[in-house]
Each structure stands twice: as structure tokens, then as C-alpha cells.
Amino acid sequence: MQIQGNTFIVTGGKKKVKAIQQAIDKFGENIRGVVNCGGIFTAGKIVDQNGKPLDLESFKFTINVNLVGTFNVCRLVAAQMIKQKPLEEGERGVIINISSIAYQDGQAGIISYSASKGGVASMTLPMTRDLSRFGIRAVTIAPGFFDTPLSSAAATDEKVTQKLINQIEYPGRFGKPDGEFNKLVIHLIDDAGTKLGKL
């Protein structure tokens, strides 16, 4: 992904807050955008074929990583952006969160993932309303299947992969992270005039 300027990748569960603070300390008043695209996928039906309910800790873990982790990055970075001098048209930055089409069209066996990404999607409008007065945009992308390690975890074999591809309209393939996705992210970062609160 080619984005001009400095980039900083934040990973790691309990160390996430520290990593975010390190990024803030490193870039100071130069944090103009954040892309929250981290996430995990845990398969499991609410009740399996043997009548066993989904493990609550597994559900909580997915929510904690995908939803709480995203919120945590948003709140800490937004607090820094508010302190920054606005750009020429008043913008201080943009927060881009990655949800998933699964929040609207979740398949069987991905209830935890769908719930977590639904939470991410539902934060967009209130986050926009909270931050727009400071010149901070908040947008959410809800992609379908992309050729990433996360999709590979969901598509456990060729048969499953082909079944997923058969459900995709033209061009009948997984999306390309280094193609369609990156171009959209770059457009959203560059487009200071884009409408707030997009999903």
C-alpha cells in the first residue's frame, strides 16, 4: 500500500494502548489518519449440531479484539487529532474503520464475527456526530471477501473457497487488498470534502 507520509502499524492485544501512545509520541501533530483494519475470525454457531452452546469466552474474545480494540484506537487517536492545528479547510484528520458485509449478510457459523463487525459499523454515525465539530471525519468500509489471511481462515479448503466465490457477483473472485481496497482507503484519506459518516 502506497500512502505518502509516515505510517505506523499497531498490533498486539494488551500492548495496543502502549503502541498507540508510541505512535502519537512519534508523530506528534502529524497524525491525520488512522485505518482500523485489524480483526480476528472465530467460527462457531450459537448452538452446534450436538446442542452445545457457543463458548461465551470465545464470543467475548472476538468482540474484544474486533470491536473494543477498534473503539480503543479511535478514542485515543481522536483525542490527539483534536489537539492538532486544522488544515486549510478545517480538517484535522480522518478515522477509517473496517467492518464487513457479514454484519448485514452473515453466514451460518460466524455469529461472533458478524456481531463484532456490526458493532464497528454502528459506531460510524455517532462517532461522526461526536467528532465532526472538531473537523474529524469518520467513515466505515464494509468489504466482502478479500484475498487476505482472514479469508483464508474462513475458507478452510478449495471446496469451501469455491463455494464462497460462487456467491460473488462479477468479477467472481475475492477482492484484492493491494488493488480495490487500497485505492478506496487512499481516496477516503485524500478526499477532505467527502461526506461525513459514510458506510
pLDDT tens digits, residue range 90-129? 999 999 999 987 788 777 888 999 999 999 999 999 999 9
Residue 24 domain flag: no
Residue 3 maps to a domain? no
pLDDT at 197 over 90: no
Q: How many domains does the chain have?
A: 1
Which DSSP string corresponds to 106-169? PPTTBHHHHHHHHHHHHTHHHHHHHHGGGTEEEEEE----BSSHHHHHH--SHHHHHHHHHTS-
The pTM of this model reads: 0.78
Is residue 44 in some structural domain? yes
Say how many Å lie between the first and final Cα of the chain, rounded.
Answer: 22
Residue 59 domain flag: yes
> Mean per-residue pLDDT for 76-97?
92
Q: What was the pLDDT predicted at 56?
A: 96
- Residues marked active site are found at 113
Answer yes or no: is 181 within a domain.
yes
Q: So what's the pLDDT on residue 196? A: 46
What residues make up the domain containing 134? 35-190
Position with higher pLDDT, 57 vs 184: 57
Across the chain, mean pLDDT equals 80
The Cα–Cα gap between 121 and 60 comes to 18
Instruction: Kindly list the distances between the CA atom of residue 149 and the CA atoms of 76, 142, 146, in Å, as whole numbers in the listed order.
Output: 27, 17, 9
Residue entry with cell 448452538: 47
For 178, counting Cβ atoms within 10 Å of its Cβ (0-12 exposed, 13-18 middle, 19+ buried), the class is: exposed
> pLDDT-based confidence at 1, cuts 50/70/90?
very low
Q: Determine, yes or no, domain membership for 170.
A: yes
Whichever domain contains 103, its CATH number is: 3.40.50.720
> Do residues 116 and 63 make contact, with C-beta atoms less than 8 angstroms apart?
yes
Residue 15 domain-assigned (yes or no): no
Q: Does residue 29 belong to any structural domain of this protein?
A: no
For residue range 141-183, what is the model confidence (pLDDT) as tens digits? 987 766 666 666 555 567 766 666 666 676 766 667 677 877 8
